[in-house]
Amino acid sequence: QVQLVQSGAEVKKPGASVKVSCKASGYTFTSYYMHWVRQAPGQGLEWMGIINPSGGSTSYAQKFQGRVTMTRDTSTSTVYMELSSLRSEDTAVYYCARLAGGMDVWGQGTTVTVSS
Amino acid sequence: QSVLTQPPSVSGAPGQRVTISCTGSSSNIGAGYDVHWYQQLPGTAPKLLIYGNSNRPSGVPDRFSGSKSGTSASLAITGLQAEDEADYYCQSYDSSLSGSLYVFGTGTKVTVL
């Protein structure tokens, strides 16, 4: 079955970077774009960016430009989201989600906590 | 900030019908871009509920329906059930220079009385 499995929870200090992975299975990895979406505690969903696993092209939300990098490894069917210069406001659950007529499959989420 | 506006909460008794509005603008819903709806149960990842304005993925009960008109969209839940208590989000594409290509609604909490 189609599945996205994300890496485990992270605790980081302000100023550090975090890299979250999202491993896809059950479908042709390069055939579907992948979104990254985050949700701060008690807040709504926020779109961060999108990557084309086929060519690696990306598009980021302006808010994260310069701080976020999305990459992929086609040999392992994995996409990555790295966020740098972390601050407390980046504490959130980060999700990957496949783009297919809406975001049809979601990862389980990765909790990133930024605390000194 | 979200460019799609939803009511913060709606409620209804079991069996009733509730609707959730999603108001956008000429750069997203009004430009003809599709609206999708997601259900998020407490502590879980969002789940696609409606795609392409009014289509239900396999396994989604037909109690859920979506529509779109002008710069707004709506999600209706008929025959409300206890397990429908969740947060609901609309989502679309935005062609303005707002800084985000894909936008979500502010979210609506549905409470079953």
> Hey, is the C-beta of A42 within 8 angstroms of any chain B C-beta?
no
Tell whether B105 lies on the interface with A, counting CB pairs under 8 A. yes
| CB-CB neighbors (< 8 A) of B45 in chain A | 95, 106-109
- Determine contact: B8 vs chain A, CB below 8 A: no
Question: Is residue B100 very low, low, confident or very high in pLDDT (cuts 50, 70, 90)?
Answer: confident
CB-CB contact of B35 with B92 (8 Å): yes
Helix, strand, coil share of chain B (percent; to 5): 5, 45, 50
Residue B96 banded pLDDT, cuts 50, 70, 90: confident
Summarised one tens digit per residue, pLDDT across range B60-88 is 999 999 999 999 999 999 999 999 999 99
CA distance B12 to B87: 14
A61 — contact with chain B (CB < 8 Å)? Answer: yes
Which residues of chain A neighbour B9 with C-beta distances below 8 Å? none
Query: Is the Cβ of A18 closer than 8 Å to some Cβ of chain B?
Result: no
Q: Would the CB atoms of A109 and B47 count as touching at under 8 Å?
A: no
Q: Does A47 touch chain B (CB under 8 A)?
A: yes
Q: Say whether A13 sits in a helix, a strand or coil.
A: coil
Which residue is it, tokens 């795609």?
B51
Instruction: Say if the Cβ atoms of B107 and A101 lie within 8 Å.
Output: no
Is pLDDT at B97 greater than 80 in this prediction? Answer: no
Chain A residues with CB-CB distance to B102 below 8 A: 35, 47, 50
* Cα B6 to Cα B42: distance, rounded to the nearest angstrom: 19
In this complex, the residue of B48, B98, B106 whose CB is nearest that of residue A44 is B106
Query: Each residue's pLDDT tens digit in chain A (116 positions)?
Result: 999 999 999 999 999 999 999 999 999 999 999 999 999 999 999 999 999 999 999 999 999 999 999 999 999 999 999 999 999 999 999 999 999 889 999 999 999 999 99
Residue A80 has φ and ψ, to the nearest 5°, of: -130, 150
Are A9 and A111 in contact by the 8 Å Cβ rule? The answer is yes
